[in-house]
Amino acid sequence: MSEACKVSAERRGDVAILRTDGYINNQGGEEIAREAYAQLESGARALVLNLEKTRIVNSIGISILIEVLEKVMDRKGMLAFCGLTPTIDKTFRIMGLAQYAEIYPTQEDALRGVNPQPA
């Protein structure tokens, strides 16, 4: 199915950038969680979730993102989102995700946000 979510990861020091492409439903959320946990296990301190290529999500998918957020907070790490459509942004705010994770317009902004000292 064309909407199945693909997740790719890139590591820059202790920051992991996860890029999604497609529908974030339960499978999409689990795909993201799997990759996020692998990155945390291998020492990532901050996760940047770039949702630029995702135009639709559902609340099951987002609930899995809340689990990821919780795990990151348990480890005193950071989670930042970027590339949200206005509707996904609004939905994250409705759910209060924006109080615990930062939301940035672009990936560059997000990287600066999780990594304030010059790289």
Partner 1 sequence: MSQGGSAPPGLAGAREVSMTIPVAPEMEIVATAQAAALGEYIAMARDKIDEVKLALVEACINAFEHADCRDEQLHLTFRLGREPKGREWLEVEVLDKGRGFDSSRVEPPSIEKSFAGHRKRGWGLQIIRSLMDEVEITSGGGGTRILMRKYK
Give contact residues for partner 1 (rule: CB under 8 A).
1-3, 23, 25, 55-60, 62-64, 66-67, 70, 73, 85-88, 90-91, 94-97, 99-100
Closest to partner 1 by CB, 21 vs 67, is 67
Closest to partner 1 by CB, 46 vs 61, is 61
Identify the CA nearest to 68 among candidates 90, 23, 27, 35: 35
Identify the CA nearest to 7 among candidates 45, 41, 48, 43: 48
- Smallest gap, in angstroms, from Cβ of residue 49 to partner 1? 16
- Taking the C-alpha atoms of residue 80 and residue 13, their distance in angstroms, rounded to an integer, is 16
- Smallest gap, in angstroms, from Cβ of residue 117 to partner 1? 29
> Residues 6 or more apart from 61 whose CB is under 8 A from it?
23, 24, 25, 26, 28, 29
- Smallest gap, in angstroms, from Cβ of residue 2 to partner 1? 4
Closest to partner 1 by CB, 12 vs 90, is 90
Angle (CA) 105 14 90, round 5°:
25
Closest to partner 1 by CB, 36 vs 111, is 36
